[in-house]
Structure 1
Amino acid sequence: MPLINRIPTELTRLIRSGLPAGEDHGDLLFACRTDLAPDGRIDESMLVVTRRQLVAATRSDGAWTLTHTLSLAEIDGLTVEPLVGASALEAEVDGKSIRLLRYTHAVAQDMTDAVESLLHLIGPDGSTDHTEPIAEEPVPDWSSREAHLRTFGRLWSFCLPHWRKLVIAMVVTVTASAIDLLPPYLTMILVDQVLVDQSMYIWLPTIVALLAVSRIVHTGVTIISGRMLAVLGDRLAYDARSELLNVLQLLPLKYYDMQQTGGLMARIARDAKSIHYFWIDFAPQVVQQGLLVIGMTAVLFYLNWELALLVLIPIPAIIFASVHIKRYLMWFYGRSWDSWATFFERVNDALAGIRVVKIFAQEKRQSRDMQLENEKVFTAERNIHVRSRTVRPLLAFLVSVGGLLVLWYGGLLVQSNAMTIGMLVAFLLYLAMFYSPVQQLTGMADWIPEMMTAITRTFEVIDSPIEEYTPAGIVDVPRFEGRLELQDVNFGYVAHQPVLKGINLHVEPGEMIGLVGHSGAGKSTLIKLMCRFYDVDGGRILIDGTDVRRMDLTQLRSQIGYVEQDPFLFSGSVADNIRFGNQEATREEIVEAAINANAHEFIVKLPDGYDTPVGERGGRLSGGERQRVAIARAILHDPRILILDEPTSALDLETEKKIQEALGRLMEGRTTLAIAHRLSTLRDADRLLVLKNGEPVELGTHEELLDRQGEYYRLVQLHTNVSSIVGVEG
């Protein structure tokens, strides 16, 4: 639901009736749809901004109602209040807070764009004089014919590299359709000429042989066509999955912040498969059955135009019903996809956290929760299948009406000798061949929404903007010295909710800076900006005097090492995880890195040494062992800038000592930023940067900050009562 420049007609009338004199709907700047009513119900609401006013409206029982109408000049500020599973947009007017509307996280980015666009329009100093109405990016209606044509165009782009195979398969399919036209004609000759004249009996074996040959050839051609299309469909599904997997690796972190893992897994496992079904089941059937319908129509008019007209009587009703059925079912397929995504997410959580489940003896509760999601999937699938199985017999009945009319009128023609029995039999055979593809094509009315929903969601991911790896005006920095500079850095995950404000810091090569602050102070966010997982909203981050936004992203991250608090290990061997950041490393280099990380001793005791599988997320190793493998991985990566996210927290003293020794070797000669939740880990830092509520409040050495008795001193005093950090001042 991005920003839009068109609103419903009913809402337009409501807004126009309340606009000041001289202002009309043409002064609409932009609008934004949301998915909750002000009272939290799931319903459509809308934020509308004109040149002078901000309007909040909601729709209930199909009718729009204006809930708030404010002058832009009287709005002092806008804030977002986090709620459970949702957020609320509030406006400050005359010192009072007015809740304008609610919305879920699904539309949070759109609301961020809306508020960001509003900030310079509100208040006494705001101005709309130089603001033009937003150029709306059209939101595709995936139930429309135009949307389907666009999707078909995208599908064709996947097929272009294999167009020769597709053309050959379609030619074979057309050949099979042409062969289908022969048996009814031979049957007419058999009935009208061979079976009624004894002198023609000698042709009986020939006619039957021709019928047999036609069936044999048709069977062979169909097999060839099916095999070719099967291979082509599998190849196209493979191409779609490959592009999908590639894009998933290139998408920015903010994309994953708004997505569920289960939903993405559903797109990879289920939705990409729909491209396979499209080319194997849908496209060939449409071509083959469509050609049969065209061919049968020509033959029926050739045999008897009066009967042919009777055949076509139900066709408009069939087409009308099929179109409306498709649009009707599209909504249910969307709900089905959402339920599957949530189901996958629930199962993924249950399996990934199985140890926690068992520790807290919550197996029954987890099973019950998964069963609830399974019931939602069942309900969604049942709604689809019950409705589709209801409409198919109705379509079949409409199809049969034409056949009944042909039997009635054709029988009259035979009785009056205006038509031979053989021609009527042939006509009925052709009629069956005509209605069979018509039924199949109408039956595809519930295929189309299913495939379009799935294929569209696949393309949604593929078309998502990826990270900018090679920015314009790129500066080549092959090897960092390690000089860092943060100049008035400001950032917020939501534009109007800053997380970091006014960060200034200069770090010399080889210097160690400790980042200190309460939970949520912005330490981890600052690290994410260093790695360009996000870009700053204001200010600059420089490395060796170059803005990180002008660096090649791969070149930047290849010179940054990151050891996190709970390191992630991939399924594979110990050696595979150590060499992850340096795929060219030799076995000797892997072992050397492990020795420097104090990991070699425990690795050689594993069943298969360096070739021992670590399990999913490194689950077969202890926390300290995973941490040392992560340090070895960072050592082998050989970064110029090192980031440590409290890598020794929650470890026993012996393990912590080994890791501290390994970290000491890792930090030698490297610029280091270390996040600390336990202040004792930073006593050896060259300087400490203390953050509070996203702002830098102190900068200095450990001793200098203690002497000031400011925020750092307060944090130390709080921690001295915890036994795990006794000795901070020692």
Structure 2
Amino acid sequence: PLHLARRAVLLFARPNAGRTLGTLAGALAVAMASASEPLLLKAFVDRLTAAAGAPHSAAAAGVMGGVALFVSVLGARLVGAAWVTTSTWRVKLGFEYQMRSRVAAKLSVLSPLTQSEIGTGGLRYAIDASAPQTAGAFTDVAFRVAPILTYVGIATWGMTRLHAPIAVAVLCLVPIPALVAVSTARHQSRRDRMHQAFWTRFWSWYGEVMQGMGTVRAFARERAEERAFTRRMRWAFAAIQRGVAVDARSTLAAGLTELTARALVLAWGGSLVVRGELTVGTLVAFLGYIGGVFTPVQQLVDLYPTVRKASVALDAVFAVLDADEEAPDLPGAVPAPRLSGRVRFERVSFGYRADRRAIDALDVTIEPGQTVALVGPSGSGKSTVLRLLQRIHHPTHGRVLLDGHDLRALEVASVRRQFGVVLQEVVLFNASVAANIAYARPSATRAEVVAAAAAAGAHDFIMALPGGYETGVGEGGRALSGGQRQRIAIARAFLVDPAVLILDEATAALDPVSEQLVQRSLRTLREGRTTLIVAHRLNTVRDADRILVLLDVP
């Protein structure tokens, strides 16, 4: 759609406007040089023919002059084309960079509901495949359409000047490839959208299979998933092959049309040359223009599927860019001051769906330094309370206050930097132990990282690793045990020196020995900090100052 194309140009192409205009000017100059070549070749051949009976020295001088002019124009065109190619890639990569950057920035603030609706495959498509498709379409349109039209205009003028009847006959054949392409356009658009939807679903499914490989193996479903993979691949490749067949027929029609034009010029022009009504140079120029006219027109026709695929890609990109954020800053939001940790839920209600509330009129105050445990059956809203405090969601009704400040009036990043969060499923990145601890505060010194690890009870086992703090933890932290990963997460929270500590089932997946070690670290971390704990085990919450029981909202 045109409105999406306009938005894409304004968002992604404007930062490179100067280079884009320069590249377009270069492409136009190359097109004009290319259009002049058949006329130069005509002049050279006619001069060569006329010089057949002239003195040798005069003929040689004329030939060398024609060669020098032709080589100069051709050489300038080649140099210009090389520069245009290089500059086009710079514009394309700049466009792609702008697109990927904006999509990546939006992905980090999408609401969980939006992420689940778009799906992993859709998010991957938006940031991966969509960017090169759209950037390629932009540069093709920007740097091909005007130069092609310029070339065709000059070529039409030149052929008409050379021999108008032959020019008219040739130009009548030029639209045929475009008409063939238009006749298949609807089928191709439907095919492209079907492919995009298929790959979106496919990668979402395959990502689930890879993440759940343990479950797949536990139930001996490896071969079944392999068969499902190959079955879907066969369907996709068969659909692609059918599309290729349609495209091949369009290409064949264009090739046969050009062949017809060449045969027409050779037959008609050749007979005129024999009768002396047309020069050999004119016939050569006509043959040069035929390839020059039909090839650019075919390039214009080929732009259609490129633009069509880019249109599908833009739908995916703007589905992400226009999606709701998790809980955006309100206009006029200010950075949070250093917090003491007083938390107030003021008659807070929230629902993931309009017809059902997960939290209904929660009204509670937590004083600085208090430890409050949230208990209740699954689905009663315990984790939702923590998400509201982290401002992953805005309350439907009521307010969440921090030190008396409405949470919505504070910049969310400045609030979260004062929170320490330890979850049941610890996320570690494929980097060193030190880098994972410092992820909470990248500016931390090595001494601060070590001090945080020592406070979390992790220093001794870290030093026992082969590389100490520089040991890689593997993808997802797989090189460490569950208890070790949890203590790395606690060290990360220590490094932040948080005013508010959030523990969501932080020890639920640990064995008794590991749980005891982690609990000891958590008790140290909780000292003097406001702490909210979600847990099911009694030994996890028995040290809490208060226990809040949440029940299912009817």
Query: What is the TM-score when the length of structure 1 is the normalising length?
Result: 0.70
Amino acid in the other structure paired with 1:287: A
Could you tell me how far apart the structure 2 residues matched to 1:204 and 1:370 are? 66
Percent identity, aligned pairs only, is 33
| CA 240–476 in structure 1, closer or farther in 2 if over 3 Å, else same | closer
Match of 2:19 among 148, 156, 165: 165
3-state DSSP of counterpart to 1:181: helix
- Distance in 2 (CA, whole Å) between partners of 1:551 and 1:376 is 51
What is the CA-CA distance between 1:628 and the residue it aligns to? 0.8
CA deviation map 1:665-698 (0-9, x unaligned): 1111112111112233212222222222137xxx
Q: CA offset at residue 183 of structure 1? A: 3.0
Cα distance in 1 for partners of 2:441, 2:540 equals 28
Deviations, residues 114-167 of structure 1 (Å, cap 9, x unaligned) = xxxxxxxxxxxxxxxxxxxxxxxxxxxx3xxx34xx415523543333333233
Residue in 2 aligned with 1:181?
35
Secondary structure, aligned partner of 2:457: coil
Q: Which has the higher contact order (CA 8 A, sep 6+)?
A: 2
Q: 2:249 aligns with which of 390, 407, 413?
A: 390
Q: Answer yes or no: is the 8 Å Cα contact 1:343–1:377 preserved in 2.
A: no
Work out whether 1:198 is the aligned partner of 2:57: no
> Which residue of structure 2 lines up, in the alignment, with residue 502 of structure 1?
361
State the Cα distance separating 1:309 from its structure 2 match. Answer: 2.4
Amino acid at match of 2:20: L
Is the 8 Å Cα contact of residues 194 and 201 (structure 1) preserved in structure 2?
yes
Pick from 86, 97, 106 the counterpart of residue 238 of structure 1. Answer: 97
Per-residue CA distance 1:629-672 (angstroms, 9 max, x = gap): 11111111121111111212132222111111111111111121
Structure-2 residue corresponding to 1:716 = none
Shift of 1:356: 4.5
Structure 1 residues 271 and 685, CA gap change in structure 2 (3 angstroms): same
**CA distance in structure 2 between the aligned counterparts of 1:234 and 1:472, rounded to whole angstroms:** 34
Matched, 1:592 2:451: yes
1:69-102 deviations in Å (ceiling 9; x for gaps): xxxxxxxxxxxxxxxxxxxxxxxxxxxxxxxxxx
Check conservation: 1:241, 1:268, Cα contact below 8 A: yes
Local SS of the residue matching 1:536: coil
In structure 1, the partner of 2:542 is 683
Q: Aligned ranges for residues 97-116 of structure 1 at < 5 Å? A: none
C-alpha separation between the residues in 2 aligned to 1:514 and 1:467? 25
- Contact 2:125–2:316 under 8 Å retained in 1: no
- C-alpha distance 238-437 of structure 1, shift in aligned 2 (>3 A): same
2:308 corresponds to which letter in structure 1?
P
In structure 2, the residue matched to 1:27 is none
1:515 touches 1:673 (CA, 8 Å); kept in 2? yes
CA apart distance, 1:442: 1.3
- Which residue identity lines up with residue 48 of structure 2 in the other structure? V
Q: TM-score, normalised by structure 2?
A: 0.91
Aligned match of 1:374: 233
Residue in 1 that maps onto 2:128:
269
SS at structure 1 position matched to 2:400 = strand
**Equivalent residues of 2:114, 2:324 under 8 A apart:** no
The structure with the largest strand share of the pair is 1
Shift of 1:577: 1.4
Q: 1:543 aligns with which of 402, 417, 426?
A: 402
Q: Which amino acid aligns with 2:156?
A: T
Structure 1 residue ranges without an equivalent (≥5) = 1-141, 696-730
Tell me by how many angstroms 1:622 deviates: 0.8
| Structure 2: runs of 5 or more not aligned | none
Partner of 1:471: 330
- Aligned residue type for 1:306: P
Task: Determine the C-alpha separation between the residues in 2 that align with 1:618 and 1:369.
Answer: 30
For 1:432, which of 291, 295, 299 is the aligned residue?
Answer: 291
In 2, Cα distance between equivalents of 1:476 and 1:168? 43
> Once the 2 structures are TM-superposed, how far is the Cα of residue 325 of structure 1 from its aligned partner?
3.3
In 2 relative to 1, CA 573–502 (structure 1 residues): closer, same or farther, beyond 3 Å?
same
Which residue does 1:290 correspond to in 2? Answer: 149
Matches within 5 A, 1:403-552: 403=262, 406=265, 410=269, 418-466=277-325, 469-474=328-333, 477-552=336-411
Instruction: Look up the equivalent residue of 2:43 and give its one-letter code.
Output: I
Q: Give the secondary structure class of the aligned counterpart of 2:421.
A: strand
Does the residue aligned with 2:108 lie in a helix, a strand or coil? Answer: helix
Q: SS at the partner of 2:74?
A: helix
SS at match of 1:505: strand
Higher helix share: 2
C-alpha displacement of 1:269: 2.3
The separation in 2 between residues aligned to 1:408 and 1:401, in whole angstroms, is 11
Tell me the distance in 2 between the aligned counterparts of 1:500 and 1:400.
73
**Amino acid paired to 1:474:** A
Instruction: State whether residues 274 and 455 of structure 1, in contact with CA within 8 Å, keep that contact through their aligned partners in structure 2.
Output: no
Q: Which deviates more, 673-682 or 213-222?
A: 213-222
Greater Cα shift, 606-615 or 302-311: 302-311
Q: 1:588 to 1:332 in 2, by over 3 A?
A: same
State the alpha-carbon separation in 2 of the partners of residues 259 and 429 from structure 1: 51
Task: State the secondary structure of the residue aligned to 1:672.
Answer: strand
CA contact (8 A) 1:491 1:501 kept: yes
